[in-house]
Amino acid sequence: MTSPAPAHARISVIGAGPGGLTCARILQRHGMDVTVHDRDPGPDARNQGGTLDLHADNGQIALREAGLLDEFFALSRPEGQEMRHWDPSGTLTGHHIPAAGELFKPEIDRGQLRDLLLDSLHPGTVRWGHALDTVSGPADGPRRLHFANGTTIETDLVIGADGAFSRVRPAVSPAVPEYTGVGFLEAWFSDVENRHPDIAELVGPGSAAAADGDRGLFAQRNSGNHIRVYIIRRVPADWLTRSGLTADDTDGIRALLLEEYAHWSPRMRRMLTDNEGPYVDRPLFALPVPHTWAPNPTVTLLGDAAHLMPPLGVGVNLAMLDAAELALALANAATVDDAIRTYEKTMLPRSTETAKALEGGAEHLLSTDVPDFGHDA
């Protein structure tokens, strides 16, 4: 089959996260038809997670191409760039305060970013309740998408923006994510200025981190007077089962954490114990480095589906940059095949370089080294 011109191609994005939605938005700005398929039954089916920073040299570039940069700045929190570093005793060892007008990486809640992108799309662009099972059909197309709800569709281009455990990835690569040996437990705190003033003071308007070499804490201020704390530990993937616990045994998990963090100060341990609701277990996975594949004229990947790395501030930014570059390649290429080759020629080396720099980076989350913030307060 001859690769079609992008303007006449049936383009299917799998995954309505920041990467997939950014790609769809930029394609539509260039007059191209695209459909996004997502496994969630609707846009409000689940909490979208905590806050993230969008960097001027990648995420913000994508939003500029999407025509949404001004709207992003109106929603973002520049004060969220403040960062505090504590030791386990509760002593402040590092403090970065952003300069007036600094906008290199302001924070925005994931839900707010997703809503911004969703609202920018043509009505009906996202087809909810479409969890992809498999991709079939010849490599040169057309492809068939098989969904868990029993439906199938035919398409000329499949863009896998479906995250760590992508169902699109097997069409181009046998790679699977591997557990890094480090896991997060997520804890939530609401109405923090009134209900958790000491934690609010520790975290400030941005983020705060502490570690002792084997375990750590990373706290982030979200909008709406919320804070999320990520409890970072070097543990086996099945640590809950080995400990005789279940995910809903909040009291049991809390008792275990108090034992593990017994030498931390009582003030710091409040971020372990004063949370509202259950803990959320989030083991950290990464794809092998390098992760590359042979060019395929009908399938490509972006974001975590292409280059899952430890959560060190690059994931969403790279996904959105990938999305912008892929959409622009499609807008400017004679064929879909040409566009994919142009996109992957840049994306794969960049992601390989970044992944090599961050390989084993989950361990850095436990380091006692104080980051170089550039200036202290």
Q: Which band of pLDDT confidence, cut at 50, 70 and 90, is reported for residue 292? A: very high
Could you tell me which CATH number the domain at 180-284 has? 3.30.9.30
What integer best gives the mean pLDDT of the chain?
94
The set of residues, in sequence order, having a beta carbon less than 8 Å from that of 272 and lying 6+ positions away, is 187, 217, 229, 231, 254, 257, 258, 261
pLDDT tens-digit map of 218-263: 999 999 999 999 999 999 999 999 999 999 999 999 999 999 999 9
Q: Which band of pLDDT confidence, cut at 50, 70 and 90, is reported for residue 371? A: low
Give yes or no for residue 377 having a pLDDT over 60. no
Q: Is 144 annotated as a binding residue?
A: no
What share of the chain in percent tops pLDDT 70? 98
Q: What is the structure's pLDDT at 76?
A: 96
Q: Is 304 annotated as a binding residue?
A: yes
Topology of domain 6-80+103-176+287-360 in CATH is FAD/NAD(P)-binding domain (3.50.50)
Q: Is 282 annotated as a binding residue?
A: no
Q: Which band of pLDDT confidence, cut at 50, 70 and 90, is reported for residue 313? A: confident
Span 205-227, mean pLDDT? 95
Q: What is the structure's pLDDT at 373?
A: 39
pLDDT tens-digit map of 330-351: 999 999 999 999 999 999 999 9
φ, ψ of residue 292 in degrees (nearest 5): -135, 170
CATH 3.30.9.30 residue spans of the chain = 180-284
Q: Which band of pLDDT confidence, cut at 50, 70 and 90, is reported for residue 45? A: confident
More confident residue, 117 or 376: 117
Q: Tell me how far apart the terminal alpha carbons of the chain are, to the nearest angstrom.
A: 62
How many C-beta atoms lie closer than 10 Å to residue 37's C-beta?
25
CATH 3.50.50.60 residue spans of the chain = 6-80+103-176+287-360
Query: Which CB contacts under 8 angstroms, 24+ apart, belong to 150-157?
Result: 153/12, 154/10, 155/10, 155/11, 155/12, 156/4, 156/9, 156/10, 156/11, 156/298, 156/336, 157/6, 157/9, 157/10, 157/11, 157/12, 157/298, 157/299, 157/300, 157/330, 157/336, 157/340
φ, ψ of residue 48 in degrees (nearest 5): -85, 0
Span 320-331, mean pLDDT? 98
Q: What is the structure's pLDDT at 372?
A: 47
Determine if residue 125 is left, alpha or beta; phi over 0 gives left, psi from -120 to 50 gives alpha, anything else beta.
Answer: alpha
For 207-221, give the DSSP string. Answer: EEEEE-SSEEEEEEE
Q: Is 110 annotated as a binding residue?
A: yes
